[in-house]
Amino acid sequence: DWNNAVERLPELTSLPPGSTAWRTRRGGATAERRATHRYRKDVTRVDALA
């Protein structure tokens, strides 16, 4: 389930939810693109675990 996976992303990555990499998701266009790429990779990993 996509929504459940998104909610679980912080706990499934090696980074704590409050870390810089997570905050940069709201940090502007370049940071957003970079974070989105990482986010997609994490979602792929979540899908693999599902």
pLDDT at 41 over 60: yes
Confidence of residue 47 (pLDDT cuts 50, 70, 90): low
pLDDT of amino acid 10: 57
List the domain boundaries for the chain: 2-49
Q: How far apart are CA 37 and CA 34, in angstroms?
A: 5
What angle is formed at CA 13 by the lines to CA 9 and CA 19, rounded to 5 degrees?
90
| Three-state secondary structure call for residue 32 | helix
pTM over 0.75? The answer is no
Q: What is the pLDDT of residues 5-39, one digit of tens each?
A: 666 665 555 555 555 554 444 545 555 566 565 66
